[in-house]
């Protein structure tokens, strides 16, 4: 604590303050000026009345300053809360983006594997990745292409049987067989002399 002497409205005051001398003297000078301004505006008032009115003005200014400070604190708190929510949303969005990127990479890998996969169907034609994906989609929604596959397999089996040498031999033998009722048309021969006895 320090003791300083200041002059306000021509009267000397001894003040004890924790602040430094320069700051205390500047406060005293500002108060002296305001009281003098009040006295100039209202010359009929005493110095004491001017000092009281000046004190009321100072209290009003202090109250407004405190309200402004409270408003600023509220705004800062709102800004901090908004920033926290935005940060949380950004963090959540980054997690979702990471998950989606991983899913896209997985799908791209699967698509590459399907594209490079040289699947062959029953008739020797290459099956494209698009055909495989269409098959997966049909299987997922309950539609199946199994009857078409079975039909193709049956056709291939029939062609294989028709082209076999056994089938060709059978067809040739059937083409050489005499027609029913033709001369010597019976395919069986026998001796019926014993029946003439």
What share of the chain in percent tops pLDDT 90? 47
pTM higher than the cut 0.85: no
Q: Does 105 fall in a domain? A: no
Measure the CA–CA gap between 181 and 84, rounded to whole angstroms: 105
Q: Which residue has the higher pLDDT, 8 or 160?
A: 8
Q: Does 191 fall in a domain? A: no
Q: Does 100 fall in a domain? A: no
Measure the CA–CA gap between 143 and 125, rounded to whole angstroms: 22
- Of the candidates 31, 2, 34, 38, which has an alpha carbon nearest to the alpha carbon of residue 18? 2
Q: Which residue has the tokens 């001398």?
A: 21
- Is the pLDDT at 95 greater than 80? The verdict is yes
Q: Which residues span the domain enclosing 23?
A: 1-44
**Which of 44, 59, 76 represents a domain boundary (last residue)?**
44
Measure the CA–CA gap between 71 and 77, rounded to whole angstroms: 10
Q: Does 60 fall in a domain? A: no
Q: Does 120 fall in a domain? A: no
Q: Does 88 fall in a domain? A: no
Instruction: With both helix axes pointing from N to C terminus, report the angle between 129-140 and 47-116 in degrees, rounded to the nearest 10.
Output: 110
Which stretches does DSSP call E strand in the chain? 2-8, 11-17, 119-120, 126-127
**pLDDT tens sequence across 3-58:** 999 999 999 999 998 989 999 999 999 999 999 999 999 989 999 999 999 999 99
- Of the candidates 28, 26, 34, which has an alpha carbon nearest to the alpha carbon of residue 11? 28
Question: At 151, which helix (H) or strand (E)?
Answer: helix 146-162
Q: How many domains does the chain have?
A: 2
Strand partners, 126: 120
Q: Does 90 fall in a domain? A: no
């Amino acid at each position: 604590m320090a003791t300083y002497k200041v002059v306000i409205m021509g009267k000397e005051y001894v003040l004890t303050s924790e602040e430094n001398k320069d700051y205390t003297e500047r406060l005293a000078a500002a108060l002296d000026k305001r009281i003098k301004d009040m006295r100039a505006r209202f010359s009929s008032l005493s110095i004491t009345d001017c000092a009281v009115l000046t004190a009321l003005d100072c209290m009003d200014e202090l109250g407004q300053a405190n309200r402004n400070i409270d408003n600023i604190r509220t705004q800062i708190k709102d800004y901090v809360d908004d920033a926290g929510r935005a940060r949380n949303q950004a963090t959540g969005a980054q997690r979702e983006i990471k998950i989606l990127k991983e899913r896209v990479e997985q799908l791209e890998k699967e698509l590459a594997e399907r594209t490079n996969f040289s699947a062959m169907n029953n008739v020797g034609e290459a099956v494209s990745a698009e055909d495989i994906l269409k098959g997966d989609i049909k299987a997922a929604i309950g539609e199946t292409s199994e009857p078409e596959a079975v039909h193709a397999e049956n056709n291939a089996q029939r062609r294989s049987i028709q082209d076999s040498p056994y089938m060709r031999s059978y067809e040739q033998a059937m083409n050489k067989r005499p027609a029913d009722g033709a001369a010597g048309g019976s395919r069986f021969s026998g001796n019926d002399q014993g029946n003439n006895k």
